[in-house]
Amino acid sequence: MLIAGADDAGRGPVLGPMVLAGVLIDEKDEHKLKDIGARDSKTLTPKRREELAKKIKKIVKSYHIVIIPASEIDDKLSHGINLNDIEALKAAEIIDKLNPEKVILDCPSNNKKAWKNKVYEHIKNKNIILICEHKAERFPPVGAASILAKVTRDEEVAKIQKMVPFPIGSGYPSDPITKKFMKEHLNEYEELFRKSWSTFQNHKEGKKQRNLDDF
């Protein structure tokens, strides 16, 4: 049986893209992912993730990665498509591309059944066995997908950093470097941010207010 696993990286950042990745592997080879230590990318160092990503790409039959830039997230949210909906659409895109017999997805929603149904609506092959679980990275194919997603997002943030002469950090609102970048350079680099995020809007309003206070 051909099994796919899919996971995301970068749902929460105020800067940079969200990334979804999926891997396809024959069930009989699934142990190979476990043997190399494919698991939740958050438990691994950046160097280890990069090492594993190379191995994963050699082990799996196929993989597919989708990058959703900040501008696309903002555009979809402005049309009433929330982040869970976006992820469901992109997960379906990955499933259609890989065409597995069974797929395991890490579920971003509290309501697993509702999100599973949302993904199912968008996939072409309705005969696929679809499993949605919280903390699904415990399944090796999802752990492998988690690693590919995280490595890809880190690469995308590194590309952004090359275009900006100031440290941008990880893009997460809690990152002090990202906070400093927002505070000092938000107006110059608005296009890098998810403008729909309250973090961005609060900084923007605060900046406007400070400018008004100067008069």
User: Which residues are within 8 A (CB) of 152 and not within 5 positions of it... i.e. 6 or more apart?
Assistant: 9, 19, 21, 65, 67
Phi, psi values for residue 77, rounded to 5°: -65, -35
pLDDT at 211: 47
Whether 56 and 36 have beta carbons less than 8 Å apart is answered as: yes
105 SS3 class: strand
CA distance linking residue 171 with residue 157, whole number of Å: 8
**What are the structure tokens assigned to 39, written together?**
């698991």
Q: What is the end-to-end Cα distance of the chain in Å, rounded?
A: 69
Domains in the chain with CATH codes: 2-161 (3.30.420.10), 164-213 (1.10.10)
If one counts every other C-beta atom within 10 angstroms of the C-beta of residue 110, the result is 9
Distance CA 207, CA 192 (A): 17
Q: How far apart are CA 138 and CA 141, in angstroms?
A: 9
Q: 195: which 2 tokens?
A: 């403008």
Stated pTM of the model: 0.91
Paired strand residues for 10: none
The Cβ of residue 181 has, within 10 Å, a number of other Cβ atoms equal to 22
pLDDT of res. 206: 60
pLDDT reported for residue 215:
37
Supply the pLDDT for residue 186. Answer: 86
Instruction: For the chain of 215 residues, list the mean pLDDT of each consecutive stretch of 10.
Output: 96 94 96 91 92 96 97 92 94 97 94 94 94 94 97 97 95 93 89 86 63 42
d(CA 89, CA 71): 16
- Supply angle C-alpha 135, 82, 126, rounded to 5: 65
